[in-house]
Amino acid sequence: MSGKKAPFPLFKDGKRHDGRGPMDLRPIEMEVGILHNADGSARVKMGRTEVIAAAYGPREPPMKAMVLPDRAVIRFRYHMAPYSTDDRKSPAPSRREIELSKVIREALEATILTHLFPRTVIDVFAEVIQADGGTRTAAITAASLALADAGIPMRGLIAGVAVGKVDGQLVLDIDQVEDEYGEADMPVAAIVGLKKIVLLQLNGVLKPEEFPKALSMAWEGLKKIYEMERKVLGSKYKGV
Amino acid sequence: MSITPFNIPIVPKLKKETIYSLAKRGSRIDKRKLDQFREIKITLGAAGKAHGSALVELGHTKVLAGVKIEPGKPFPDTPDQGVLNVSAEFLPIASSEFEPGPPDENAIEVARVVDRALRESQAIDLEKLVIIPGDKVWVVWVDINVLDHDGNLFDASMLAAMAALMDAKIPQHEVLEDGSVKIIGPPVEPLPVRKKVVSVTIGALGNVFLVDPSLEEEAVLDARIVFSFDNEGNLVGLQKSGPGWVDWDRSLIAFNIAKNKYVEPLRALEEAFKVHS
Amino acid sequence: MSVASERRGFALPGDPIASNVNVDPRSYLYVYKIDDTIYAAVPCMYEIVDNTLKVIPLEGVYVPRPGDIVIGLVINFVITHWQVDINSPYIGILHASNVLGRPYNPAKDELREYLEIGDYIVARIDSFDRTRDPVLDIRGKDLGRITEGKIIEIKPSRVPKVIGKKKSMLNIIKNDTNCDIVVGANGRIWVKCPNKDLEDIVALAIKLIEREAFLPGLTEKVRTLIANEKHERGLL
């Protein structure tokens, strides 16, 4: 949200600036097992936003002090490559990356069955290769796929999507233009199979009656993203 | 990188069971009702040299926010707007769990949640903070300091920041020939505050929701959601904070509770300024 | 999503598998329970026999089980025991007394005569309960230090495919190459052959199984690979 007015209409005649309808997701690509070393890995692309995630573990902690006696410790980093944005972003962690690393780790804490692996560490890393809106939701989707690819036990796959508001209209899966010039950006992520919210934020303004509407739009989007996740994981075991 | 905290004190299972069974019966360990805020006390001008300040006491939680206003450069893409910066520090005096050092992810999260709510609601009219368009504007620094941690640092920090901003006055100034800004007297003109913003933090524990969780309650919650509202009832911020989940359908119940409750911190804010003037 | 009622199938994390069934104790790491329903926690194959659910994970780390034979790498010595990397989140403990067959006397016993850092060993998991590291035993038959041959590492989840139903795949490889093969449950495989070429061929066959574990016709592909390689290297 920059508070600035867009130089073109963001919603006109039922269509968004890129021609999508309000409930249309951007074209999505998903792949797992793309990295050789990582125990699990995935690439998620939503429109022009692209994220690669990798999972390592459960494994021995790098430091003896970094253990919990009854569960695994999770380490998660959300990081943007310097070339992922329009203006080069310094590789040093920004306050935004620190906050997003926290909220996404907390989302993963809700799904990973950490008590099955006491005194170990589970590492998950997400790298934003190209940022065009919805990077944290693409990151959490990719992280979830990487965890499944690694066989790290989870309560269920997580899907993430951002609902926005442009020219007064609620829209699903906002891109950078809609994020920058729109009135609201609400990222949501959930363990879809159990219908539990694990990440929820709002940047912007919603009228109180718009919140329930935005949530149900998000749910429709999450169900579709979840089906894609299941398909891409299932295709790995075709012959089974 | 964010890491599961591994040095927090163990919560005795007995305590968690007590809190949950009390909650199922509509009660809490400090005898509050499930949707009841602790007593809110706001003291304005608590930091004498700040341009605006407020000490908020929410039960035993104490947060002091101070505002400093200085001349500075605008951001290049908003040359006709002042600048608002919000940061927070969890001071080591506040809790045995806080280590001295730069703000950690928890303090950064609180600062950014407060910042977003103030910014997106346009609580401060930044366009009225221009001194020389494109060159010199007022930069408003809001620094939030947690002095005593007994839970719900989000709501206490939001309230302290908002009260400090409402208390703040811009230094008297004069623009010299060379374009520099000289402070010529004590602050007189109030900061242009357009909206009042408050937040309501709701903790989820099983099937129960607790408003304004205390420290002991926070330690056993499944998750928390911070709902920020402006004085017109618009939703200007959301943050699910903490590990754990919130049931999708039940999140709307939490929202409705918050919608009914935000008037309480808002009223406390307005009361503080009635007395003051 | 309806609960699967078939006796066998494939599941992804979060899929409900069955209700009101017992869970085989060796499957506890791959499922979780809400009320009476068992859900998959990892991509897996499952089978319900006599109302007991058994789950085979298709991915994941090796978690030691007492009785497993593993191939470990000695990585450190700490006063009274060796630390052994068993390709698991947990480090294996090999007590000096186990290696010596009698109590260890630091004044008299020169342990480097028995085992050095960097040695591979075939060991049995003696005990493991997740609150302490797994304890290894190398005193049994066919256990001990490895001094020759080749070690191949694969994902532990692929080990059942290398062994095959009733050891069918393993026997095919052994017979077609005339090699001794010890398959560690932890994904490490020790191969000892009459010559180095055959060791390389076994490695290729095992890597093929790891790559194409879930595709059809695996046995044929393996036999063909071995035959072709033997032909190319003039070993037929």
Would you say how long chain C is, in residues? Answer: 236
Q: Please state, rounded to an integer, the average pLDDT across all residues of chain B.
A: 95
B157 occurs within a structural domain: yes
**Residue A163 to residues A50, A62, A211, B122: CA-CA distances in angstroms?**
18, 38, 10, 21
Q: Which residue has the tokens 């304005």?
A: B44
A147 occurs within a structural domain: yes
Cα A137 to Cα A41: distance, rounded to the nearest angstrom: 16
pLDDT of the residue at B249: 96
Q: Which residue has the tokens 């007394």?
A: C97
Distance from CA of A239 to the nearest CA of B (A): 35
Nearest to C96 by CA among C81, C84, C85, C106: C81
What's the average model confidence in pLDDT over C45-58?
Answer: 93
Does residue A82 have a pLDDT over 60?
A: yes
Q: Which residues of B touch A105 (CB under 8 A)?
A: 2-4, 243
Cα A187 to Cα A164: distance, rounded to the nearest angstrom: 8
Tokens representing residue B149 in the block: 């941690």
Task: Report yes or no: A220 at the B interface, CB cutoff 8 Å.
Answer: no
pLDDT of the residue at B235: 98
Q: How confident is the model at residue C79 (pLDDT cuts 50, 70, 90)?
A: confident
Task: Report the phi/psi class of residue A13: left, alpha or beta, with left for phi > 0 and alpha for psi in -120 to 50.
Answer: left
Residue B117, domain CATH? 3.30.230.70
Task: Report yes or no: A74 at the B interface, CB cutoff 8 Å.
Answer: yes
Q: How confident is the model at residue C3 (pLDDT cuts 50, 70, 90)?
A: low
Cα A115 to Cα A68: distance, rounded to the nearest angstrom: 10
Task: Report yes or no: A98 at the B interface, CB cutoff 8 Å.
Answer: yes
ipTM: 0.96
What domain count does chain A have?
A: 1
Does residue C176 have a pLDDT over 50?
A: yes
Does residue A168 have a pLDDT over 50?
A: yes
Distance from CA of A11 to the nearest CA of B (A): 21
A77 occurs within a structural domain: yes
Are 3 or more Cβ–Cβ pairs between B and C shorter than 8 Å?
no
Domain around C142: 69-146
Contact partners, residue B226, CB within 8 Å, separation at least 6: B113, B154, B155, B199, B200, B201, B237, B238, B239, B240, B241
Distance from CA of A126 to the nearest CA of C (A): 20
CA B19 to chain centre: 26
Task: Report yes or no: A6 at the B interface, CB cutoff 8 Å.
Answer: no
Of A57, A193, A234, the CB nearest to C89: A57
pLDDT of the residue at B181: 85
Q: Which residue has the tokens 């754990």?
A: B244
Of B3, B112, B238, the CB nearest to A200: B238
Inter-chain residue contact C42 with A57, CB threshold 8 Å: no
Cα B103 to Cα B98: distance, rounded to the nearest angstrom: 10
Task: Report yes or no: A2 at the B interface, CB cutoff 8 Å.
Answer: yes
pLDDT digits 0-9 by tens, C203-219: 999 999 999 988 889 99
Cα C19 to Cα B208: distance, rounded to the nearest angstrom: 27
Task: Output helix, strand, coil percentages for chain A, rounded to the nearest 5.
Answer: 30, 35, 35
Mutating which of A200, A213, A215 best tests the B interface, going by the most B Cβ atoms within 10 A? A200
Mutating which of B86, B105, B112, B245 best tests the A interface, going by the most A Cβ atoms within 10 A? B245
What domain count does chain C have?
A: 3
Cα A69 to Cα B6: distance, rounded to the nearest angstrom: 10
Of B120, B236, B252, the CB nearest to A212: B252
Contact partners, residue B200, CB within 8 Å, separation at least 6: B155, B211, B212, B226, B227, B229, B257, B258, B261, B262, B265
pLDDT of the residue at A156: 98
User: What's the burial of C125, exposed, middle or buried (CB within 10 Å: 0-12/13-18/19+)?
Assistant: buried
Does residue B187 have a pLDDT over 90?
A: no
- Comparing B275 with B229, the larger pLDDT belongs to B229
Does residue B192 have a pLDDT over 70?
A: yes
B8 occurs within a structural domain: no
Cα B73 to Cα C209: distance, rounded to the nearest angstrom: 64
Cα B246 to Cα B241: distance, rounded to the nearest angstrom: 10
**Residue C221 to residues A195, B204, C187, C190: CA-CA distances in angstroms?**
43, 55, 21, 22
Are both C198 and C215 inside the same structural domain?
A: yes
Residue C123, domain CATH? 2.40.50.140
Cα B143 to Cα B150: distance, rounded to the nearest angstrom: 20
Inter-chain residue contact B243 with A211, CB threshold 8 Å: no
pLDDT of the residue at B186: 82
What's the average model confidence in pLDDT over C181-187?
Answer: 97
Cα B52 to Cα B193: distance, rounded to the nearest angstrom: 12
C141 occurs within a structural domain: yes
Does residue C111 have a pLDDT over 80?
A: no
Task: Give the C window 69-128 contacts with A, CB below 8 Å.
Answer: 89-91
Cα A69 to Cα A59: distance, rounded to the nearest angstrom: 14
Cα B107 to Cα A102: distance, rounded to the nearest angstrom: 11
Task: Report yes or no: A109 at the B interface, CB cutoff 8 Å.
Answer: yes
Mutating which of B1, B230, B232, B250 best tests the A interface, going by the most A Cβ atoms within 10 A? B1
B194 occurs within a structural domain: yes
Q: How confident is the model at residue B92 (pLDDT cuts 50, 70, 90)?
A: very high
Distance from CA of C102 to the nearest CA of A (A): 31
The Cβ of residue B165 has, within 10 Å, a number of other Cβ atoms equal to 27
Nearest to B182 by CA among B171, B174, B190, B191: B174
Distance from CA of C193 to the nearest CA of A (A): 29
Task: Report the phi/psi class of residue A145: left, alpha or beta, with left for phi > 0 and alpha for psi in -120 to 50.
Answer: alpha
A119 occurs within a structural domain: yes
pLDDT digits 0-9 by tens, A115-162: 999 999 999 999 999 999 999 999 999 999 999 999 999 999 999 999
With CA atoms as reference, the chain C residue closest to A191 would be C14
Are both C140 and C157 inside the same structural domain?
A: no
B3 occurs within a structural domain: no
Does residue C6 have a pLDDT over 60?
A: no
Cα C182 to Cα C166: distance, rounded to the nearest angstrom: 15
Q: How confident is the model at residue C2 (pLDDT cuts 50, 70, 90)?
A: very low
Inter-chain residue contact C29 with A116, CB threshold 8 Å: yes
User: What's the burial of B203, exposed, middle or buried (CB within 10 Å: 0-12/13-18/19+)?
Assistant: buried
Task: Answer whether A227's CB lies under 8 Å from A30's CB.
Answer: no
What's the average model confidence in pLDDT over C8-30?
Answer: 94
pLDDT of the residue at A196: 97
Tokens representing residue C227 in the block: 């035959």
Which range (A84-98, B17-31, C4-18) has the least confidence? C4-18
Q: Which residue has the tokens 């307005």?
A: B270
Residue C183, domain CATH? 3.30.1370.10
Name all contacts of A171-174 with Cβ < 8 Å and 24+ positions apart: A171/A11, A171/A16, A171/A20, A171/A22, A171/A23, A172/A22, A172/A23, A172/A24, A172/A25, A172/A217, A172/A218, A172/A220, A172/A221, A173/A24, A173/A25, A173/A26, A173/A46, A173/A47, A173/A134, A173/A221, A174/A133, A174/A134
pLDDT of the residue at C132: 87
Does residue B177 have a pLDDT over 90?
A: no
Cα B245 to Cα B221: distance, rounded to the nearest angstrom: 10
Does residue C187 have a pLDDT over 50?
A: yes
Distance from CA of C178 to the nearest CA of A (A): 30
End-to-end Cα, chain C, rounded Å: 55
pLDDT of the residue at A5: 82
A27 occurs within a structural domain: yes
Tokens representing residue B268 in the block: 């406390």
With CA atoms as reference, the chain A residue closest to B5 would be A73
Distance from CA of C100 to the nearest CA of A (A): 28
What's the average model confidence in pLDDT over A5-18?
Answer: 91
| Chain A residues interacting with chain C (CB cutoff of 8 angstroms) | 39-40, 57-60, 69, 113, 116-120, 148-157, 191-194, 230, 233-234, 236-240
Q: Which of C146, C162, C187 is the last residue of a domain?
A: C146
Mutating which of B3, B81, B85, B250 best tests the A interface, going by the most A Cβ atoms within 10 A? B3
Task: Report yes or no: A69 at the B interface, CB cutoff 8 Å.
Answer: no
The Cβ of residue B226 has, within 10 Å, a number of other Cβ atoms equal to 26
pLDDT of the residue at B276: 57
DSSP C181-230: EEE-TTSEEEEE-SSHHHHHHHHHHHHHHHHTTTSS-HHHHHHHHHHHHH
Of A98, A197, A212, the CB nearest to B105: A98
Residue A24, domain CATH? 3.30.230.70
pLDDT digits 0-9 by tens, C112-168: 778 889 999 999 999 998 788 999 999 988 999 999 999 999 999 999 999 999 999
Q: Which residues of A touch C2 (CB under 8 A)?
A: none
Inter-chain residue contact A198 with B240, CB threshold 8 Å: yes
B270 occurs within a structural domain: yes
DSSP 8-state symbol, B179: S
Please count the residue pairs, one from chain A and one from chain C, whose beta carbons lie less than 8 angstroms apart. 94
B1 occurs within a structural domain: no
Q: How confident is the model at residue C1 (pLDDT cuts 50, 70, 90)?
A: very low
Nearest to C119 by CA among C85, C153, C95, C156: C85
Q: Cis check for the bond before B79: say yes or no (omega within 30 of 0).
A: no
Q: Which of C146, C163, C183 is the last residue of a domain?
A: C146
Task: Report yes or no: A62 at the B interface, CB cutoff 8 Å.
Answer: no
Are both C154 and C223 inside the same structural domain?
A: yes
Q: Which residues of A touch B230 (CB under 8 A)?
A: 205
Task: Answer whether B98's CB lies under 8 Å from B92's CB.
Answer: yes
Sequence-ordered strand ranges (E) for chain B: 2-3, 40-44, 52-58, 61-72, 83-90, 130-132, 136-148, 169-175, 181-190, 197-205, 208-211, 223-230, 235-241, 246-247
Q: How confident is the model at residue A2 (pLDDT cuts 50, 70, 90)?
A: confident
Q: Which residues of B touch A205 (CB under 8 A)?
A: 120-121, 230, 234-236
Q: Which of C131, C146, C161 is the last residue of a domain?
A: C146
Nearest to B56 by CA among B137, B134, B155: B155
Task: Report yes or no: A186 at the B interface, CB cutoff 8 Å.
Answer: yes
Q: How confident is the model at residue A240 (pLDDT cuts 50, 70, 90)?
A: low
Give the phi and the psi of residue C31 in degrees, each rounded to 5.
Answer: -140, 165
Are 3 or more Cβ–Cβ pairs between A and B shorter than 8 Å?
yes
- Comparing A237 with A47, the larger pLDDT belongs to A47
Distance from CA of B236 to the nearest CA of A (A): 5
What domain count does chain B have?
A: 1
Domain around B268: 13-276
Nearest to B85 by CA among B19, B141, B46, B162: B141
Give the phi and the psi of residue B68 in degrees, each rounded to 5.
Answer: -125, 135
**Residue C164 to residues B130, C160, C172, C214: CA-CA distances in angstroms?**
77, 6, 10, 12
Rounded to the nearest 10 degrees, how much is the dihedral formed by the CA atoms of A3, A4, A10, A12?
A: 100
